[in-house]
């Protein structure tokens, strides 16, 4: 990770960590970088945060000042920017969003011409320009100055693409959508209405400050209650930029990313559409998922945490399905990034084609209780490699055997060691996490926040 760009773009509190000056310089560099041998075309989308408009104008100023043309999708989802970028020959795309973060945060995600996250080496050059380590870039003059184009049509084409992926009508299906007061509010209902569903929508009135606030995929209890009260067949909750989806079955049970991978993976495998009969997961996926996969002969890969690493593995091995517990699910036949609305459509395909409720489809997976505790430390490497900590972790692993697991890893963004235990009961999880954390404290490795 770089100084400004992490695994998911340049993100932080608006006008504190991420400023309009930063956004202007990002635009200036991208407009120059992609426009060295032709007139650059850059497409921009944004979520519903109040600061997104501010950053949109700053990016446009930078891009056009460097001679690029800026095409505005306006409020839209991250996966729609990826789709438009790769299908309509843009040099790159920019999404202004901090995903599931609070409204006062924001971020700049840059997507390359193939619809993938921007290459690290280009991000490093942007950072060098922001910090004044690269000579000032030339300004466009006269007719070379870029222009701004209203490109809402691109978003509409993406909506049409999603509708085209449905295999049958959703007529008579009662479907709940929690749009998180975010990007999905412009797209999700249109898609489900067009497919004939009886669509029930909540959290679809963004005001610039209510995105992700007690709603969406990070507050799934809201949709759980709504599905039960209204006797819906299924519910889908998205995050702020709609690249995640968490489902709720007809009984109000949460169907997280692990369960979605199982339901969709099994269906694709049965139909000969799961390349290598393999799904790609991260190390945080639940042991219950792996045990259920073993029973049906579905193989799995494990990557580091982050949809970036999931997609890298999928590309390298030509796998068709991968994702995270959090609901970032990637269907490589249809998209190059996690897409919440697409994911919900793929779940609907399984429900309709199998003629089974979502609760029955997910029933074979017995999720193990999981407990994660963050321990703040002075030095992550020293804490992770401490002999007594290693011994404590090995002892827990031996005691758990095949009926649980322990995972101790360093945070990629904070001075924190994450201790996670899965076991048959919540009590066992608490017991084994405490064993390791107590050793870290006894060794003087833990520090106060």
Encode pLDDT of 265-324 as tens digits. Answer: 999 999 999 999 999 999 989 999 999 999 999 999 999 888 889 999 999 999 999 999
Overall number of domains in the chain: 3
- For residue 74, how many other CB atoms are within 10 A of its CB? 16
Is 359 within any annotated ligand binding site?
no
- pTM above the 0.85 mark? yes
Q: Exposed e or buried b for every residue in 261-300, given b needs 16+ CB within 10 A?
A: bbbbbbbbbeeeebbebbbbbbebbbbbbbebbeeeebeb
CB contact at 8 A, 254 and 248? yes
> In degrees, to the nearest 5, what angle opens at C-alpha 346 toward C-alphas 269 and 199?
155
The values of phi and psi at residue 112, to 5°, are -80, 180
**H-helix or E-strand spanning residue 235:** strand 234-238
Is 249 within any annotated ligand binding site?
no
- For residue 5, how many other CB atoms are within 10 A of its CB? 23
Of the candidates 153, 175, 197, which is a domain's last residue? Answer: 153
Region of 142 please: left (phi>0), alpha (psi -120 to 50) or beta. left
Question: Please, how many CA atoms are within 13 Å of residue 288, restricted to the half-sphere of its CB?
Answer: 20
Best CA proximity match to 51, nearest among 11, 106, 1, 10:
106
CB contact at 8 A, 72 and 85? no
145 and 35 share one domain: yes
Check which CATH number belongs to the domain holding 97 and give it.
3.40.120.10
pLDDT-based confidence at 12, cuts 50/70/90? very high
101 and 209 share one domain: no
Of the candidates 103, 119, 153, which is a domain's last residue? Answer: 153
Is 91 within any annotated ligand binding site?
no
How much is the mean pLDDT over the chain? 95
The values of phi and psi at residue 218, to 5°, are -90, -5
149 and 293 share one domain: no
- Tell me the pLDDT tens digit for each residue of 65-113: 999 999 999 999 999 999 999 999 999 999 999 999 999 999 999 999 9
Mean pLDDT of 111-128: 93
203 and 312 share one domain: yes
Best CA proximity match to 219, nearest among 205, 237, 199:
237
Q: Looking at the domain assignment, is residue 336 inside a domain?
A: yes
Q: Looking at the domain assignment, is residue 87 inside a domain?
A: yes
Q: What percent of the chain has pLDDT over 90?
A: 91
Supply the residues annotated as catalytic. 99
pLDDT given for residue 214 in this prediction: 96
pLDDT given for residue 102 in this prediction: 93
Is 239 within any annotated ligand binding site?
yes
- Tell me the pLDDT tens digit for each residue of 206-252: 999 999 999 999 999 999 999 999 999 999 999 999 999 999 999 99
445 is written with which tokens? 């490795």
325 and 384 share one domain: no
Q: Looking at the domain assignment, is residue 159 inside a domain?
A: no
pLDDT given for residue 413 in this prediction: 64
307 and 212 share one domain: yes
What is the extent of the structural domain holding 396? 370-442
- Residue 88 makes CB contacts below 8 A (sequence gap 6+) with 43, 154
Q: Looking at the domain assignment, is residue 183 inside a domain?
A: yes
- Tell me the pLDDT tens digit for each residue of 310-360: 999 999 999 999 999 999 999 999 999 999 999 999 999 999 999 999 999
358 and 374 share one domain: no
Of the candidates 307, 332, 362, which is a domain's last residue? Answer: 362
């Amino acid at each position: 990770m770089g100084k400004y760009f992490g695994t998911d773009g340049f993100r932080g509190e608006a006008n504190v960590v991420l400023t309009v000056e930063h956004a202007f310089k990002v635009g200036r560099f991208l407009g120059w970088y992609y426009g060295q041998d032709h007139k650059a075309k850059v497409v921009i989308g944004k979520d519903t945060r109040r600061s997104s408009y501010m950053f949109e104008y700053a990016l446009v100023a930078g891009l056009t000042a460097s001679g690029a043309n800026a095409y505005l999708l306006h409020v839209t989802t991250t996966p729609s920017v990826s789709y438009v970028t790769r299908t309509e020959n843009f040099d790159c795309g920019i999404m202004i969003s901090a995903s599931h973060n609070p409204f006062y945060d924001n971020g700049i995600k840059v997507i390359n011409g193939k619809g993938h996250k921007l290459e690290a080496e280009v991000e490093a050059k942007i950072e060098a320009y922001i910090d004044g380590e690269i000579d000032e870039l030339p300004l466009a003059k006269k007719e070379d100055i870029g222009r701004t184009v209203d490109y809402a049509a691109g978003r509409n084409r993406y909506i049409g693409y999603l509708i085209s992926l449905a295999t049958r009508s959703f007529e008579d299906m009662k479907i709940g959508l929690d749009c998180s007061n975010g990007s999905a509010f412009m797209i999700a209902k249109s898609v489900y209405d067009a497919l004939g569903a009886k669509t029930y929508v909540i959290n679809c009135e963004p005001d610039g400050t209510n995105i992700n606030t007690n709603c969406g995929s990070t507050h799934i209890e809201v949709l759980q209650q709504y599905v039960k009260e209204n006797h819906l067949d299924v519910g889908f909750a998205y995050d702020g930029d709609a690249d995640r989806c968490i489902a709720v079955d007809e009984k109000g049970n949460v169907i997280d990313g692990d369960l979605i991978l199982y339901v969709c993976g099994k269906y694709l495998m049965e139909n000969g559409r799961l390349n290598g009969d393999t799904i790609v997961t991260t190390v945080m996926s639940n042991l219950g998922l792996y045990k259920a996969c073993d029973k049906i002969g579905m193989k799995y890969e494990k990557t580091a945490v982050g949809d970036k690493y999931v997609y890298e593995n999928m590309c390298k091995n030509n796998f068709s399905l991968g994702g995270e517990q959090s609901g970032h699910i990637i269907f490589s036949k249809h998209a190059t990034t996690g897409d919440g609305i697409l994911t919900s459509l793929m779940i609907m395909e399984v429900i309709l084609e199998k003629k089974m409720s979502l609760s029955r489809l997910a029933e074979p997976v017995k999720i193990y209780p999981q407990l994660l505790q963050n321990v703040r430390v002075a030095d992550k490497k020293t804490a992770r490699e401490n002999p007594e900590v290693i011994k404590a972790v090995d002892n827990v692993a031996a005691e758990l055997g095949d009926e649980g697991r322990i995972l101790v890893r360093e945070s990629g963004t904070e001075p924190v060691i994450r201790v996670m235990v899965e076991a048959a009961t919540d009590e066992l999880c608490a017991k084994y996490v405490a064993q390791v954390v107590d050793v870290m404290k006894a060794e003087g490795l833990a520090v106060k926040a």
